[in-house]
Amino acid sequence: MKTLGIIFGNLHDKDVGELTAVRSLASVPFGGRFRLIDFVLSNMVNSGITKVGIVTKTNYNSLMDHVGNGKHWDLSRKNGGLIVLPPYGDGDMSLFRSRFGTLKNIRQFISHSDEDYVVMSDCDNVCNINLSDVLQAHEENHADITIVVRKKELVNKKPRTIVTTDKAGRVTEVVNTDKASGEKQVFANIFVMNRQFLLGIIDNADELGYNSFTRDVLARGVNKYRIFAFMQSGYFANIDSLSNYYKHSLELLDKDIRDELFYRDGANIYTKVRDSAPCKIASSAKVTNSMIADGCVIEGEVRNSILFRGVKVAKGAKITDSIVFQGSVIGKNSSLHCVIADKLVTILEDRTLSGHETHPYFIAKSAVI
Amino acid sequence: MKKKKCVAMLLAGGQGTRLFALTDRVAKPAVSFGAKYRIIDFPLSNCTNSGIDTVGVLTQYQPLILNEYVGNGEPWDLDRSYGGVHTLPPYQAKQGGEWYKGTANAIYQNMHFLDRFDSEHVLILSGDHIYKMDYSKMLSAHIARGADCTIAVIDVPEKEASRFGIMDYGEDMRITSFEEKPKKPKSNHASMGVYVFKKDVLVRELTEDAADPASANDFGKNIIPKMLREGRGMFAYSFSGYWKDVGTVSSLWEANMDLLGDKPAFDLDDPSFKVYSRNDPLPPSYIGAGGRFENSVMTTGCEIYGTVVNSVIGEGVTVLEGAVIENSVIMQGSVIGKNVKINYGMVDENVIVEAGVVIGDDKSDKDHIALIGRDSVIKKGTEIKSGEIIERGKKA
């Protein structure tokens, strides 16, 4: 089963404006040493996919720097491998606003591939999913489209794509709404199509009046196409706001979630290797219920927090319920509570910064406080 | 193809018998060190940081893990289309192959490698030292003096001098005497086992040495004394950074401990001179709500629920509740069970220490390290005394 992977790198940048001010959503740091795209990329690689296109639009320097030629994901290949698809063509950036517009724009890439199937995914999903299972179900169902769904308790007024299925897993209704509540099956923004079928839809989009993937292809197509749902029951986090980012990050302090996300059947999550020295924790330090990456030097107190690579915490400093990105320095006797500090932040001595569990305080990249 | 200025030959075939259980199944250069490294990472990273992109790794004893680790050299940026890292095991030839008889013989048997890259100089390294060194400075000194051979020297404590090759040199750095492991050392200038030769000189000396049936085919015992006798241009290059021979259990333990403290004797945290290594893709380490981790280092994938003090914890190690690890080195993938006590211990890779085991006693110190070989399972309630050695795979 030869399969092509396509990752949408920018679709939801606006959701987490603070973190995407200097980067695309795909390269938002997560889990102490990873970037969001590592999860979807690793999922694809662990499922035997050896050719992956990443569609980018804006702010993609950090993403290019992170993925490089793909060697850390074993995607530096003579045939296939990692292909970054920067914006191309007539300068009509509006095409990239939707998933469907993006697919139209990379039609050539899709038509020049020779894989039978295409797996497409957004990059704001944190999960460890076996896509081979999805592909197998897709094949067994003789489906045109298979969409990954998950169960989610809907509480807020965010628009969601709610999916109804029959006993066989065939999709009977797809509704985009912000009015639903209670536990629903929602679209997880991961889907599989036969490549030729996908090309057919792209080519006939104008004739069919298709502009949106969910509204037109899925919602209007339930009776026309064989659309099936695949239930992802394992851990799944969608990063669609800063408070959600904060909440899902700190969930990693739960061992069961770490096990599910990082150690599922030996399917590791790969990332760019930086060769930092081991982390060093001094006699004066007190570290509890926290994740500490390589290169950290900790002399102060750290509790319920995640420290990325190379964070320095001076004596007397106290970090609680916070997330500190790569290379930041926390000065003597300063304290951070419910803070998200972006890369290379410097907190001088005796500073006190505090947010709230539902509203973490965000410090922008390279800020000096 | 463009000539290389200098290629490195890394002697990595040694058995390392004084590391006992640690080298049961792996060559000394593949022994774990400093939470995320293996000994060979140091000379390989030094090469990369010195701009040397062609390295032959001469393997012989238990090469499997070492070969797999070095692989195509990618972690050290040594995956090159011209040059890069090459493992050079002994091979069979038409006239019958043979094992490497000594350090010089190992290089002699791989003369084809030197010919292929036809460099002007050859750097000879050994795979059993922990140090960060910019070889390009030594090479510059070697070229500036027009030396036939330059030997890196470091001053060691006098009581340890008899363990090394000891030399004397004048103000012009010209070497005047060299003695391998002398009973009564004349100085404390020890050879670091790092040599730079002019390639033509090396080829000539190795060829002559190979023709001498009385020779032990060893650099320290034969080649260097002979060149000195013949009055060749032999110079010392003095190195003053951290350097440690980790050929014994206590010296390997000491080198690990040198990473600890507010001002460690050996500081790895230097972005301008990184030490590269091959590591598993694991998440950062986690310290639990009841965990204590003091004056210690660890790398990725550890789960710490017990107490760790003055210790070095390798990749993916788990320390369960109630366990107390002090003054110890735990290597990658090992699991330390509940309420285990370890003091002055070295636990090799993938060891399972079951609940309640006690390793070390009141006689434990740096000269009496208890050593647990890789893949062992230490059964519940076992007591292992100071200095005791559990061989690989044993179920004690």
Tell me if A293 and B284 make a contact (CB, 8 A cut-off).
yes
Q: What letters, b where the CB count within 10 A reaches 16 and e where it falls short, cover A6-42? A: bbbbbbbbebbebbbebbbbbbbbbbbbbbbbbbbbb
Q: Return the CATH class of domain A280-363.
A: mainly beta
Token reading at A88: 């191309």
If contacts are CB pairs under 8 Å, which of residues 18-47 in chain B contact chain A? 34-36
Tell me if A32 and B291 make a contact (CB, 8 A cut-off).
no
Beta pairing class for B189-198 and B149-155 = antiparallel
Token reading at B183: 């009973």
Contact partners, residue A202, CB within 8 Å, separation at least 6 = A103, A104, A107, A110
Cβ-based contacts of B270 with chain A (< 8 Å): 277
Q: Between residues A176 and B256, which one has the greater pLDDT?
A: B256
Cβ-based contacts of B297 with chain A (< 8 Å): 278-281
pLDDT for position B25? 84
Question: Which residues are bridge partners to A362 per DSSP?
Answer: A340
Cβ-based contacts of A269 with chain B (< 8 Å): 281, 283
> Which among A273, A281, A294 has the least Cβ separation from residue B294?
A281
User: What 8-state DSSP symbol labels residue A276?
Assistant: P
> Which among B264, B291, B298 has the least Cβ separation from residue A279?
B298
Distance from CA of A344 to the nearest CA of B (A): 15
- Match 């709610």 to its residue by tokens: A162
Give the number of other Cβ atoms within 10 Å of residue A203's Cβ. Answer: 13
Distance CA A128, CA A274 (A): 23
Distance from CA of B272 to the nearest CA of A (A): 11
> Residues spanned by CATH 2.160.10.10 within chain A?
280-363
pLDDT digits (tens, 9 = 90+) for A125-158: 999 999 999 999 999 999 999 999 999 988 877 8
Cβ-based contacts of A33 with chain B (< 8 Å): 283-284, 300
Contact partners, residue A112, CB within 8 Å, separation at least 6 = none
DSSP letters, A161-180, are EEEEE-TTSBEEEEEEES--
> Which among B287, B294, B312 has the least Cβ separation from residue A290?
B287
pLDDT for position A46? 95
| pLDDT at A235 > cutoff 90 | yes
Question: What residue of A is the nearest CA neighbor of B259?
Answer: A280
Token reading at B26: 């792996």
Is the minimum CB–CB distance between B282 and chain A shorter than 8 Å? yes
Tell me if B262 and A285 make a contact (CB, 8 A cut-off).
no
pLDDT for position A92? 57
pLDDT for position B292? 97
pLDDT for position B333? 96
> Which among B288, B294, B312 has the least Cβ separation from residue A283?
B294
Mean pLDDT of all residues in A9-23: 81
Q: How many CB pairs under 8 A join A and B?
A: 104
Tell me if A294 and B299 make a contact (CB, 8 A cut-off).
yes
Residue A294 near residue B36 (C-beta atoms within 8 A) = yes
Cβ-based contacts of B264 with chain A (< 8 Å): 280
Cβ-based contacts of B262 with chain A (< 8 Å): 282, 299
Is the minimum CB–CB distance between B291 and chain A shorter than 8 Å? yes
Tell me if A283 and B36 make a contact (CB, 8 A cut-off).
no
Consecutive 10-residue averages of pLDDT for chain B (396 residues): 88 81 87 96 98 94 90 94 91 76 91 92 95 97 97 93 93 94 92 96 96 92 94 96 93 97 94 93 96 97 98 98 98 97 97 97 93 94 93 64
Residue A201 DSSP SS3: helix
* Cβ neighbourhood burial of A252 (10 Å; 0-12, 13-18, 19+): buried
Tell me if A285 and B293 make a contact (CB, 8 A cut-off).
yes
Tell me if B35 and A258 make a contact (CB, 8 A cut-off).
no
Token reading at A235: 């851990």
Distance from CA of B64 to the nearest CA of A (A): 22
Distances in Å between the Cα of B308 and the Cα atoms of A161, B167, B319 are 49, 42, 8
Tell me if A288 and B289 make a contact (CB, 8 A cut-off).
yes
Tell me if A275 and B274 make a contact (CB, 8 A cut-off).
yes
Q: What angle do CA B230, B236, B237 make, to 5 degrees?
A: 150
Distance CA A289, CA A10 (A): 33
Residue B342 near residue B318 (C-beta atoms within 8 A) = no
Tell me if A31 and B284 make a contact (CB, 8 A cut-off).
yes
Token reading at B69: 């680790």
- Match 């230490």 to its residue by tokens: B378
pLDDT for position A96? 57
> Which among A31, A42, A287 has the least Cβ separation from residue B287?
A287
Distance from CA of A298 to the nearest CA of B (A): 10
> Which among A255, A283, A292 has the least Cβ separation from residue B284?
A292
> Residues spanned by CATH 3.90.550.10 within chain A?
3-266
Tell me if A292 and B285 make a contact (CB, 8 A cut-off).
yes
Residue B43 near residue B124 (C-beta atoms within 8 A) = no
User: What 8-state DSSP symbol labels residue B74?
Assistant: G
Cβ-based contacts of B288 with chain A (< 8 Å): 288-289
Tell me if A282 and B262 make a contact (CB, 8 A cut-off).
yes
Is the minimum CB–CB distance between B118 and chain A shorter than 8 Å? no
Interface with chain B: mutation pick from A294, A301, A304, A321, highest number of B CBs within 10 Å = A294
Beta pairing class for B165-169 and B175-180 = antiparallel
Tell me if A275 and B293 make a contact (CB, 8 A cut-off).
no
Residue A38 DSSP SS3: helix
Q: Taking the CA atoms of chain B, what radius of gyration do you get in angstroms? A: 22
Mean pLDDT of all residues in A76-97: 75
Tell me if B286 and A290 make a contact (CB, 8 A cut-off).
yes
Give the A-side interface with B, CB within 8 Å: 31-34, 42, 71, 252-253, 255, 258, 261-262, 268-271, 273, 275-283, 285, 287-295, 297, 299, 306-308
Distance from CA of B146 to the nearest CA of A (A): 37
Token reading at A75: 């995607």
Cβ-based contacts of B290 with chain A (< 8 Å): 288
Question: What residue of A is the nearest CA neighbor of B267?
Answer: A277
| pLDDT at A95 > cutoff 60 | no
Residue B256 phi, psi dihedral angles, 5° rounding = -65, -45
Is the minimum CB–CB distance between B298 and chain A shorter than 8 Å? yes
pLDDT for position B91? 79
0.90 surpassed by pTM:
yes
Distance CA B119, CA A20 (A): 50
As a whole number of angstroms, the longest Cα–Cα distance in chain A is 70
Is the minimum CB–CB distance between B75 and chain A shorter than 8 Å? yes
Tell me if A289 and B279 make a contact (CB, 8 A cut-off).
no
* Closest to A118 (Cα-Cα) out of A109, A126, A127: A109
Long-range contacts made by residues A241-244, C-beta under 8 angstroms, separation at least 24? A241/A15, A241/A16, A242/A16, A242/A17, A242/A18, A242/A19, A242/A340, A242/A360, A242/A362, A243/A358, A243/A359, A243/A360
| pLDDT at A113 > cutoff 90 | yes
pLDDT for position B147? 97
Distance CA A71, CA A74 (A): 5
Mean pLDDT of all residues in A28-49: 96
pLDDT for position B2? 73
Tell me if B283 and A258 make a contact (CB, 8 A cut-off).
yes
Tell me if A293 and B287 make a contact (CB, 8 A cut-off).
no
Token reading at A301: 């107190």
Distance from CA of A184 to the nearest CA of B (A): 31
Question: Which residues are bridge partners to A307 per DSSP?
Answer: A292, A324
pLDDT for position A91? 55
Distance CA A87, CA B345 (A): 57
Distance from CA of A328 to the nearest CA of B (A): 15
* Closest to A135 (Cα-Cα) out of A9, A217, A44, A233: A44
Q: In Å, how far from its chain's centre is CA A219?
A: 25
Question: What residue of B is the nearest CA neighbor of A258?
Answer: B283
Q: How confident is the model at residue A9 (pLDDT cuts 50, 70, 90)?
A: confident
DSSP letters, B149-165, are EEEEEEE--GGGGGGSE
Distance CA B152, CA B359 (A): 39
CATH 3.40.1160.10 assigned to domain A3-266? The reply is no
